[in-house]
Amino acid sequence: MKLLMENWRKFISEEEIEEAALGMGEGGLNELGDISFSIEKDDGEYTIVPRDGQGNDMGFFDLDGAHLDCGYYQTHSHLDDPSSKLGPFAYDLLIELGTLLGGWVAPSGHPSGATYEKKAGENAISVWIHYYEKRNDLQKRPIELDGNCWLQKDRTRVNTLSKLQNRHPEKYMQVMTAILHKYQKKPIFLSQLKKMGKLEAPDDILNKIPGETPQQPKQFKLSFDKKER
């Protein structure tokens, strides 16, 4: 897993416009080992759940549609073991999923580390700053500020910026540009996971993802029942 994330960081720092299509290190997504992913749908909200080789949930990554009328999903996440460094890759999956659903994806209104310090590697805001400043493979648009849409319905985002300006003015501009943008991305990793048999999802979502799911080997059942003569 450590090798995967080291390759991921190296891979996304390149300046090639198609950098996401190049894969991650020599092993590609095989470096995930036995980790798999499940997309779950509940009343218009979507959750990506990473699972270890024993089928245990490792956390969750949500697409929250509360602000779809303002033009974007927002994300929420939790990892049982933040040191696993799985977060950046899973955020890519969220952006790909939101794009497939016809939307844009923005960070939550208060990503961890935006107005307070957390341990290295546990700051979600660092991922979104990296997306805005370094990721050439992402489409980026400002969240529309005309009218009162986000001011009335996304007060958390407004309050985060207000706190940040008072407490950490030195990083206000950097954080502001990251969380006031929404993102789209081609389903490159979702497609690769599907082809590897590492992705479960409802049929309506799975059918939107390019590629074929590996065929499961047929199970032959032996019967020892005596035939009538």
Q: What is the pLDDT of residue 93?
A: 96
Lowest mean pLDDT among 68-82, 93-107, 130-144, 215-229: 215-229
Q: What is the pLDDT of residue 214?
A: 80
Is residue 70 within 8 Å of residue 152, measured between CB atoms? Answer: no
Q: What is the pLDDT of residue 117?
A: 66
User: Stretch 104-122: mean pLDDT, rounded?
Assistant: 76
Lowest mean pLDDT among 1-5, 76-80, 196-200: 1-5
pLDDT band at 70 (very low <50, low <70, confident <90, very high): confident
Q: What is the pLDDT of residue 118?
A: 56
- 42-46's contacts with Cβ under 8 Å and 24+ in sequence apart are 46/97, 46/101, 46/205
Amino acid 65 reads: G
172 vs 48, more confident:
48
User: Stretch 212-228: mean pLDDT, rounded?
Assistant: 59
DSSP 18-71: TGGGG-STTTGGGGGTT-EEEEEEETTEEEEEEE-TT--B-EEEEEE-TTGGGT
Phi, psi of 226 (to 5 degrees): -75, 130
User: Stretch 140-160: mean pLDDT, rounded?
Assistant: 77
83 vs 70, more confident:
70
Give ∠ CA 190-194-196 in degrees, rounded to 5.
Answer: 120
> Which tokens hold the place of 178?
């990251």
Share of the chain above pLDDT 90, in %: 41
Q: What is the pLDDT of residue 222?
A: 52
User: Stretch 58-67: mean pLDDT, rounded?
Assistant: 93
Q: pTM (2 decimals)?
A: 0.80
Q: What is the pLDDT of residue 60?
A: 95
Which tens digit of pLDDT belongs to each residue from 86-111?
888 899 999 999 999 999 999 988 88
- Is the pLDDT score of 25 beyond 60? no
Which tens digit of pLDDT belongs to each residue from 26-40?
566 777 889 999 999
110 vs 46, more confident:
46
Q: What is the pLDDT of residue 216?
A: 61
